[in-house]
Structure 1
Amino acid sequence: MTDLLVFWQENLPLMIDGLIVSLQVTGLALFIGMPLGLFLALGVQGKSIAVRAISMAIVEIGRGAPALILLQFAYFGLPNAGISLSSFGAAAAALSWTTAAYTSEIIRAGLEAVPHGQKEAAVAVGFTPMDALRFVIVPQGLRVAAPALLGFSILMLQATSLCFAIALPELLSQAYMIGTTTFQYLPILLLAGILYAAICIPATIAVAFLERRLGRHAA
């Protein structure tokens, strides 16, 4: 047990560096992907056939293609089209697409959960359809979708482990590098799991608490 703790202590700085990279990629993917998800959700519900078709195509490709395929496409495929991205840039781009595709469906469900009478009431008091969307429908829809969006954020942190395939020095990549050097894969992967759990378990508890609070308020 003492040897295990010493091993973890020696390698913890590198693992923390990897965890920071994982959090950075997750944060950037959510920062870019969630607003895009909102626009895609609105596009899928739009009146224009062209906008609906384009939005649906982006969503279905993002949901249908595994995140690992999107990562490799962004890192290995785009250079063939003259677009070269670093491993960090490719990870952010691919995971942003995945985030946008999945959160668009979450947000769309939230928007559809808003009673139709809310929009009618907003128009009745003088709001334009756009103002009703901005100030009434979207805020309420996002509130309904908030717990699911936060839960998805936890999944995206876990999905950054796929970035080892494009040589991004995130948490799992650091664990593999240390394991390759020391041949002690089990202890270092166990430490990686503990670090993921240290973030994900409190976040999951916070999401469940928020969901209960919102549920009581809605009731």
Structure 2
Amino acid sequence: MFPSYEEIITWMPDLLGGLSVSVQVTALSLLFGIPFGLLLALGVLTRNKALRYVSLFLVEVGRGAPALVLLQFIYFGLPSVGLTVESFVAAVIALAWNTGAYTSEIIRASLQSIAHGQREAAEALGLSRTDELRYVLLPQGLRVALPALLGFSILIFQGTSLCFMITLPELVSRAYEIGSNTFRYFPALLCAGALYACISIPAALLVNHVEKRASFYTQR
């Protein structure tokens, strides 16, 4: 039997608390992951072989291993070598690594999409490689990458649902807890899905708007 409206209202504080944890993990994962992705992209493009191979290793592991495996490796695996982290920290580290690995490819492709004439103009002006990167490549490359980065941010937010496997009290974990207490898993998980949609759908519309604006300015 589907729960009454009043009963669903009593679930909301727990579900909203779990949603708050999911949003915090998402924000921190992006805060650390996107700059990490930029560093990995630059590392892959560098002429230094050692740095390039290390960057490629981190990218391939971060992209090749499922996020759930990274979560369990950090939370359950690191204690075996004497490194114990809380579930929240483990979630941020794993998802930031996953974010960095994927966004590095987005950023690298965006940097490489810049017309070669821009580089030649920078060299003609006598800019150093650092100034060329700072004033010419990054501003244009990040603008190209922005829609894809925003789209990936939605995937990371949805990916926080995996964190219930490491006992993080995020949204899905709270929904399962409500289900175990009331034996109404379906409506509890349905409410959790509705809360995910309340954030993901407007965010997707925003990404679509940003992508259209970026396409408009590119064509001008």
Bin for the TM-score computed over the shorter chain: over 0.9
Q: Quick one: distance in 2 between partners of 1:160 and 1:33?
A: 14
Give the stretch that moved more between structures: 17-26 or 117-126. Answer: 117-126
Secondary structure class of the residue paired with 1:84: coil
One-letter identity of the residue aligned with 1:101: A
2:50 aligns with 50
Q: Secondary structure at the match of 1:169?
A: coil
| Per-residue deviation, residues 87-120 of structure 1 (Å, max 9, x unmatched) | 0000001111000000000101110111111111
Distance 1:2 1:180 in 2: 15
2:192 aligns with 192
> Does the C-alpha gap of structure 1 residues 45 and 191 become closer, same or farther in structure 2, counting only changes over 3 Å?
same
In structure 2, distance between residues paired with 1:157 and 1:50: 33
Alpha carbons 1:4, 1:187 under 8 Å: kept: no
In angstroms, what is the RMSD of aligned CA positions?
1.1
Q: How much does 1:2 deviate?
A: 8.9
TM-score, with length taken from structure 2: 0.97
Which string of whole-angstrom CA distances, capped at 9 and with x for unpartnered residues, describes residues 2-60 of structure 1?
A: 94322210100000000000000000000001001000001101101111110000000
Query: Once the 2 structures are TM-superposed, how far is the Cα of residue 157 of structure 1 from its aligned partner?
Result: 0.3
Q: Which deviates more, 124-133 or 190-199?
A: 124-133
- Equivalent residue letter for 1:189: L
Question: Which amino acid in the other structure matches residue 122 of structure 2?
Answer: A
**AA in 1 matched with 2:15:** M
SS in structure 1 at match of 2:168: coil
* Identical counterparts, % of pairs: 56
Alignment of 1:68-79 (within 5 A): 68-79=68-79
2:2/2:187 contact within 8 Å kept: no
> For 2:206 and 2:16, how far apart are their aligned partners in 1?
23
In the other structure, the counterpart of 1:165 is 165
Q: Distance in 1 between matches of 2:138 and 2:25?
A: 27
**Match of residue 138 from structure 2:** 138
When normalised by structure 1's length, the TM-score is 0.98
* Matching of residues 7-156 of structure 1 within 5 Å: 7-156=7-156
